[in-house]
Amino acid sequence: MIIRPRRLRRSKAIRSMICETRLSQSMLVYPMFVKEGHGIEEEIAPMPGQKRFSVDRLLYAVERVLSAGVSSILLFGLPEKKDFLGSEAYASDGIIPKALRELKRRFPELLCVTDVCLCEYTDHGHCGCPSGGDGYVDNDTSLPLLAKAALSHARAGADVVAPSDMMDGRVAAIRAALDEDGYVDTAIMSYSVKYASAFYGPFREAADSAPAFGDRRTYQMDPRNRREALREIELDAEEGADMVMVKPGLPYLDILSAARDISPVPVGAYSVSGEYSMIKAASERGWIDERRVVCETAFSLVRAGADILMTYHAPELAEWLSKGEIEF
């Protein structure tokens, strides 16, 4: 007798019925960039199709995102001025609080996740505060500033704060600050496993956040390490993270799978700017079918263990899902 698994691949209908991995619009989170000013929609050159918005234009963009079927966004802020301590990151009238207040007034149903870091706000471009002449980022000096940034977002209406700095102990510091101020229901999605990756290049141009000196390898994770990643997840969960994240996504599917196995909380994956830009560049040259590659990538991340998917292709994915245009 011949065993015939191909029977279950014979038609689209049967393939869809028995597929092991399913993707829904509610899993998608769309990263967006907001900056000071008025009437601004700036194209981001290395990320075709992505833009930096002033708050007024962000509202129109979010309306389109919601109509596509995406109900969650991840906000990154670009301040008007930067300084050594990144004071605009935690200013009550900073760009993220401004955007949040308008978004929540206009779209109360929108789930707003905010990136909590200092790199976009410091004149040196690091995620924490350097100390001494060697430029080494001081972990414990940075924690109160990150906590203040998270608190300023919560006060303005953030549903979820997402620390991306990779400082030790920052989840505990943020949780304590939120709880002490009465924001016990504000969730934390920790960038628990954020590798020192070359895939962030386009984002650093988009957010004007490249470090002015040195690099981030003293706090972001070594791409060669796996056990360390699982330890970071366990520590963040112990400190009070409500969700954890693996970043980048596609190059670290093994980490994502292992994270799903050990994490007591939901696991997110961030399909980062470099992944997006490579797909765009190849599709513009006719080398790949963009829709099929985007869908294959998304399902790979979910298959590996992602409960939540941060992706710059979120609106397209949502529309393809709603129209039944995702085919395998």
Its domain, for residue 199, covers 24-322
* DSSP string over 47-81: STT-EEEEHHHHHHHHHHHHHHT--EEEEEEE-S-
Asked if the structure places residue 16 within a domain, the reply is no
Could you give the CA distance from residue 220 to residue 140 in angstroms, rounded to a whole number? 16
Cα separation, 135 vs 52, in Å, equals 30
pLDDT bin (cut points 50, 70, 90) of residue 326 is confident
Say if 95 falls within a structural domain.
yes
Rounded to 10 degrees, the C-alpha dihedral 291/64/52/137 comes to -80
pLDDT in tens, 98-107: 999 999 999 9
The answer to whether residue 121 sits within a structural domain is: yes
Average pLDDT along the chain: 94
Catalytic residue among 12, 247, 280, 323: 247
302, part of any domain:
yes
Is 7 a member of any domain?
A: no
Phi-psi region of 218 (alpha: psi -120 to 50; beta: other; left: phi over 0): alpha
Is 12 one of the annotated active-site residues of the chain?
Answer: no
Residue 298's nearest CA partner among 258, 256, 264 is: 256
Model confidence over 125-144: pLDDT tens digits? 899 888 866 678 999 999 99
- Count of domains forming the chain: 1
pLDDT at 136: 87
Domain at 80, CATH number: 3.20.20.70
Q: What is the pLDDT of residue 211?
A: 81
Q: Domain for residue 233, yes or no?
A: yes
Residue ranges in the chain assigned as alpha helix (H): 12-18, 55-68, 95-106, 139-156, 170-180, 201-206, 227-239, 253-262, 273-284, 290-304, 314-322
Does the pLDDT value for residue 96 go beyond 70? yes
The closest alpha carbon to 193, from 249, 139, 114, belongs to 249
Q: Examine residue 13 and state whether it is found in any structural domain, yes or no.
A: no
Is the pLDDT confidence value at 214 over 80? no
Spatial separation of the C-alpha atoms in residues 306 and 173, rounded to whole Å = 26
Strands 187-194 and 136-138, by their bridges, are: unpaired
Rounded to an integer, what distance in angstroms lies between the CA atom of residue 320 and that of residue 200? 26
In this prediction, residue 132 carries a pLDDT of 67
Catalytic residue, from 35, 98, 148, 194: name it: 194
- Indicate whether 196 belongs to any domain: yes
Each residue's pLDDT tens digit, 36-52: 999 999 999 999 999 99
What is the C-alpha separation between 31 and 51, in angstroms, rounded?
Answer: 10
194 catalytic residue (yes or no): yes
Q: What is the pLDDT of residues 10-26, one digit of tens each?
A: 998 899 899 999 999 99
| Beta carbons within 8 Å of 318's beta carbon, 6+ residues apart | 25, 28, 68, 69, 70
Q: Report whether pLDDT(87) > 80.
A: yes
